[in-house]
Amino acid sequence: MNCVEQSNETKGSMAQKRDNITLLRNLNAEQRKAVEHVDGPNLILAGAGSGKTRVLTHKIGYLIERKKSPPQNILAMTFTNKAANEMKERVVQLIKGDIRGLWIGTFHANFARILRKNCEKLGYSYNFAIYDESDQLSLIKAIIKDLDILPASKVSPKGIHSKIKFLKNANVTFDEFEKIYQGYVDESLRLVYSHYTKRLKDNNAMDFEDLLLKSIELFTLFPAVLAYYQNMFRYLLVDEYQDTNRLQYDLLKLLSAQYRNISVVGDDDQSIYQWRGADIRNILEFEKDFPECTIFRLEQNYRSTTNILKVAHSIISHNVHRMDKELWTKNDCGEKICLKIATDAYEETNFIIQKIESEIQLNQRNFSDFAILYRINAQSRVIEMALKNSGINYVIIGGVRFYARKEIKDVLAYLKVLVNPKDSISLRRIINYPQRGIGAATFEKIEKYSLQKNISVFEAMKKINEIDSISQTKRQGISEFIYLIEKYLQLKSSISTGELIPALIDDLGILSDLKKEGTHEAYNRIENIRELMFSINEFIKQNPELTLENYLENVALISDIDSLDNKANAVSLITLHSAKGLEFPVVFITGLEEGLLPLARQMAYEHGLEEERRLFYVGVTRAKEKLYLSAAKFRRQPNDNSNGSVSRFLNEIDKSLIEIDRNSYHHASPASRDTQTAKSIIEMENSNQSTARLKPGMLVRHPRFGTGVIRKVDGIGEEVKAYILFEELGEKIIKVKFCKLEILS
């Protein structure tokens, strides 16, 4: 009997070894160490193209197969749905077993899931709406209009929206905001933030930031709920940790407090989202937060040529605030990086077109092998025109998304109301679509009545006959609208989603109206609505257990990169920020000029130059085989036709890695050709800003941050910094060289 038991043990041990070999196959030594380290905190510094997704998926597989962890005890956080779906697919392929219960999703999706189950404790119902950027802005505009005490013409809805987002991402609720910033900000921000918070709650809605902010509130007010999820999630894995903000950091600290089995994967050199709240200190100080942590460095790159990596390192090594690492590869050395200093943006685009055509002819490449990267969206116009004129297919990543198109948002607004009738923003959108003769003024009267009676807008519509200021004709239109909505609210529980939506669209007569219109644009809209119906059916077919609510949540959380069509044979036009996470055989980085890359307005921030350098580094590391860099001596910009100097970043590249293209791509005289040499790529300009006059106590105006008082000034020459207490945003450190401060007194 003992022999049999020993034999079974031996067989089990052999099977386990086979499982380990399969799980750890194709991993390099450092990747393998990172995968096998599952107990206790660990930081995986994963350089660009170093196989971080492979490490994360193998780590999940290792936990399930080797450590026998139930899938429901694992929580994996990503930043895009695309990354989450890719991770799920890879885990399924890797372990070929049941992964039901495994939590893989974006921060917002995972915490939305937690809130759906627990939000009633916070006064919300489970079917709460998630407001996208457009919905949020619409609500803020409505609030500004309602608050008669505000000079609406002088208040920027986008500006206030941006400030509220910034505060929320910093984990500053309205109540905390009132305590901390009282007297330091203008009254309009305080009023709008207050009403925005209340109106969201009244609408049974949350914005993106609320999905995290309300989760913290839930865990703080209800320790038993926190304890439940702490015990459930024994292993936490976080992708792109360098992009986390204060809210995400606080949530991870809370959830990992019991077991401390937290694996974070990231690259401080790719931290490029400070402007939307990302805090690079989260990754730089991980060791301080978890003193017992183990650090793994993934430095072998599987994407790029040696020359491209050398260029990337020569750039990023100029940053002071970074963790030491240097990427290397077994790939070929590759060609030198091609640099073109064009006379203007038109020659720059002609250069790009010619290089694309040449690459296709000589190397049999497809359009989809190319990406053109730029710092700001305005740069794309000239590029688009040139591509169109040359007959080159292109796609703009981060342009008008499918779900942001008017006809799609109109139909989705109907679906949102069927899920959550309290959603006043969606009601406002559809009340007169299709036309019912009910304008904005009528809706505002209904909204005002709802506020007076402390009821939802939908309930106020039901009491339309009690609102004397609304005419009988308009009351009739509103009554018909209410009848339609209530009809489909009832149908929603008796027929499938696949039957409900075509019936609603047919009842509304949207498609027939568009057919009558008969324009090219109208037919495009018809196709888009049909595509929407198809996407809903596909979602329900693939996820039969999910509902219309789940579909709408999925749509609300889609990002630009999620909508990238990898099958489209087209050149990709992308901002540098949107390019993160992507790779292409051939990459063009355009606009390498002072003021554009690095961007002038970013230089006002402390460490702004380092973030701009990281952004350039991200662009460079998107290239697999060839990298082209370009700048223009003259670039026409809105309200500014300027002769610029070439970016300082070019001067940081090892000159032996660069080959200057001296050909002319203009139909102009040879005198316009670039004569600059590799040795003197950049002519640095001294700042014209006079700093000698800046004194503590002075009242100054910043072009972006508004009015503030200088607390102190230090540094000399180009390194002068002013510590300014701004009325709206508190204290900021401003590098004077890059910012024109107007002295008021």
Active site residues: 52-53, 239-240, 270, 622
- What HEC string does 504-561 produce? HHHHHCHHHHHHHHCCHHHHHHHHHHHHHHHHHHHHHHHCCCCCHHHHHHHHHCCCCH
In sequence order, what are the residues at sequence separation of 6 or more whose Cβ sits closer than 8 angstroms to the Cβ of residue 6? none
* Whole-number Å distance between alpha carbons of 31 and 50: 9
Give the number of other Cβ atoms within 10 Å of residue 723's Cβ.
16
Strand partners, 395: 572
**Position 506, amino acid:** D
User: How far, in Å, CA of 499 to CA of 501, rounded?
Assistant: 6
Cα distance between residue 555 and residue 264, in whole Å: 27
Q: Is the Cβ–Cβ distance between 242 and 268 less than 8 Å?
A: yes
| CA–CA separation, 383 and 389 (whole Å) | 10
Locus of tokens 């793994």: 296
Tell me how far apart the alpha carbons of residues 113 and 220 are, in angstroms, rounded to a whole number.
Answer: 18
Which residues lie below 8 Å from residue 518, measured CB to CB, with a gap of 6+?
none
Name, in order, each residue with C-beta under 8 angstroms of 432's C-beta and a sequence gap of 6 or more: 438, 439, 443
* Residue whose C-alpha is closest to residue 38's, from 12, 76, 10: 76
3-class secondary-structure state, position 344: strand
* Contact yes or no for 566/395 (Cβ under 8 A): no
Asked whether 726 and 705 are in contact (CB, 8 A), the reply is: yes
d(CA 51, CA 741): 45
Tokens 């609102």 belong to residue? 467
CA angle 188, 192, 194 (to 5 degrees): 120
Cis peptide before 434 (omega within 30 of 0): yes
Rounded Cα distance between 193 and 190, Å, is: 5
The number of beta carbons lying within 10 Å of the beta carbon of residue 731 is 12
Output the DSSP codes for 596-636: BTTBGGGGGSTTHHHHHHHHHHHHHTTEEEEEEEEEEEEEE
Q: Which of 77, 74, 148, 136 is nearest to 106 (CA)?
A: 77
What are the tokens at 32?
A: 């393998």
What would the two tokens of residue 264 be?
Answer: 């974070």
| Cα of 716 vs its chain's centroid, Å | 37
Rounded Cα distance between 676 and 655, Å, is: 13
